[in-house]
Amino acid sequence: MGSSPKPELRRSVTPWGSFSWGYSDVGADIFVGLGLVLAAAAGASNVAFLFAGIVYVSIGLAYTELAATYPVAGGGQYFVLRGLGDVFGFIAGWAVLLDFTIDITLFAWTAIDYASQLLPILVGSNHPWAHFIMTLLCIVGLCGLNVLGVRESTAFQGFVSAMDVASETLILCFGFLFAFRPDLLIHTMRFDWPTPANLMLGTSLAIISFVGLESISQAAQETQRPASIIPRTSIGLILTILVYALAYSNLALGLVPWHPIVDVHGHPVQFWQIFPNSYPGGADNQGKAVALLAAQVPYYGALAAFYVPVLGAVLLLISSNSGVFGSSRIAYAMSSTNLLPSIFQRVHARYRTPVISIVAFCGVAVLELLFAAMPSLDPHFVGIYDRFFHGESGLDFLADLYAFGAATSYSFVFLALIALRLCDPLSPRKFKIPLNIPMTFRGERVEFPVVGIIGFLGIFSILMFTLQTHPLGRIFGPSWLLLGIVLYFSYRKRKGLPILHSQKRDWRKAQVEILRSAGELELMDEYLANLKASDERRAKAQTP
């Protein structure tokens, strides 16, 4: 009796499903990032979002090209593995795993923050145990949902994403029509411009509002006709999120007065420092900034005050769901290429989902939640945070690691983009980033991506900003990478695999199988024709 075929991931993600996976992750980021950036960059918050947005566009274009060319689970980790080798592929994947596990915790945490607008018993500062328990239940529930299958969780994502697109658009339309004051925006930027350190801090936090586009590439191996669908959904997502981030930051600065006044000691302060309940960047409001902003919009705000907290909470939950999905698919991909133990590659025979990966990295998310929540649950930890981490809160801890993981992984993706353009010019690219320099490399005509250099310089500068301005990110980010490298070396040594070098892989055969599995038969035929023509040219060149 022959052995039964090995279960594989199911291709059930539609075009809207692909968009909603990205939107549910990136679209929810503004709900978290807006308050954090306003608190740090103040009158230059829109500038911080603009710089991060330019970098984000470059990241989006890179992911669009790579995901359409190599439609496999793993996304950025796989691109780096193929372009730069096993060690760098592991580091990039391990950094993304940090990002997605933080994604699970951070967005579940802030979902409860938004819900607390209507249910005061969930306010973390007043009822820390209720906030913690509800966040924990959200993580456990999403873990179970993803074990059941991607089709069920994709339907959930698509419905709420459509509702949020409509809601965020209405908030912006009513806000700019009835409340926005250009003179107030200019006044705010002029009189509340931050210090260079705070501007760097705000910029490093602004990248949080653009993290998650790789969710589309994570689902590539479960997307129908990915080479055709991914470019359309990615470009649509890039434009949507860029417009929202820039619009919300400008609306916030031009909506609530920041007139300079003095406190009882004669020190200059700002309006929002005196009345923090009206300030989305206030210490107690950073996790629910969009809800506070929507409530201040004339006419529409009375309605928005009731439903935006609910919609924000649900959208943040599906972004947390994207973290569960993304981390499990990265671990699945890393296991299939011998970067992680094979147990993470096991697929449930009935549900056809990587159940071990899902449960394992939801467990990591729970540990992160415990560390972030400890100061509010136990007063003894407040002194430890004050002493070692300059009083940063649990939300700061999660945001710091989120920014570090994103900047690290994106830096490697840009290098992989350049390497694959040079080393794999024969793979058909249905979408190609503009601004390329034609050249010859190793006897093949290649196109060097200028956007790859621009994007790398931008995201690497944000990584430096993160290390410079985030005490927790500076400690725990590199520590996570160091732990991963130790585990990687131990695993490879135990398996008898090269430690500092890459395994020999037949990337040609792998690419043919990738395109065949994705249903991109025309691209597969084009790739085989390119290989044949290249081999003939090389044979002809070697003939005396």
Q: 452-492 pLDDT, tens per residue? A: 999 999 999 999 998 888 877 888 899 999 999 999 999 99
**pLDDT for the residue numbered 21:** 65
Do 337 and 462 belong to one domain?
A: yes
| Strand pairing report for 261-262 and 436-441 | unpaired
Residue 14 lies in a domain: no
0.75 cut: is pTM over it?
yes
In Å, the largest CA–CA distance within the chain is 91
Question: Rounded distance, CA 186 to CA 300, Å?
Answer: 25
| Residues of the chain predicted below pLDDT 70 | 1-18, 21, 24-25, 73-74, 124-125, 149-157, 212-228, 256-287, 378-394, 544
Do 347 and 494 belong to one domain?
A: yes
Do 462 and 540 belong to one domain?
A: no
Domain count along the chain: 2
**pLDDT for the residue numbered 121:** 81
Residue 458 lies in a domain: yes
CB under 8 Å, gap of 24 or more: what pairs does 222-225 form? 222/9, 222/10, 222/11, 222/12, 222/13, 222/73, 222/150, 223/11, 223/13, 223/17, 223/18, 223/71, 224/11, 224/12, 224/13, 224/14, 224/15, 224/519, 225/518, 225/519, 225/520
Residue 483 lies in a domain: yes
Residue 345 lies in a domain: yes
Q: Which domain holds residue 303?
A: 33-258+271-498
Do 452 and 535 belong to one domain?
A: no
Do 435 and 530 belong to one domain?
A: no
**pLDDT for the residue numbered 94:** 94
Residue 481 lies in a domain: yes
Helices (H) and strands (E) in the chain, counts: 20, 4
Do 285 and 331 belong to one domain?
A: yes
Residue 451 lies in a domain: yes
**pLDDT for the residue numbered 227:** 67
DSSP string covering 472-523: HHHHHHHHHHHHHHHHHHHHHHHHT--SSSPPP--HHHHHHHHHHHHT-HHH
For the stretch 392-407, pLDDT in tens is: 566 778 888 888 988 9
Class of residue 64 by CB neighbours under 10 A (exposed 0-12, middle 13-18, buried 19+): buried
Residue 23 lies in a domain: no
Do 338 and 253 belong to one domain?
A: yes
Question: Rounded distance, CA 358 to CA 342, Å?
Answer: 14
Do 132 and 275 belong to one domain?
A: yes
Do 70 and 183 belong to one domain?
A: yes
What is the dihedral angle through the alpha carbons of 316, 481, 71, 148, rounded to the nearest 10 degrees? -50
Do 412 and 523 belong to one domain?
A: no
Cα separations (Å) of 395 from 35, 309, 330, 365, 373? 11, 18, 25, 14, 9
What CATH number corresponds to the domain at position 243?
1.20.1740.10
* CA neighbor of 124 nearest in space, from 278, 273, 135: 135
Residue 264 lies in a domain: no
Do 533 and 427 belong to one domain?
A: no
Do 208 and 102 belong to one domain?
A: yes
**pLDDT for the residue numbered 544:** 65
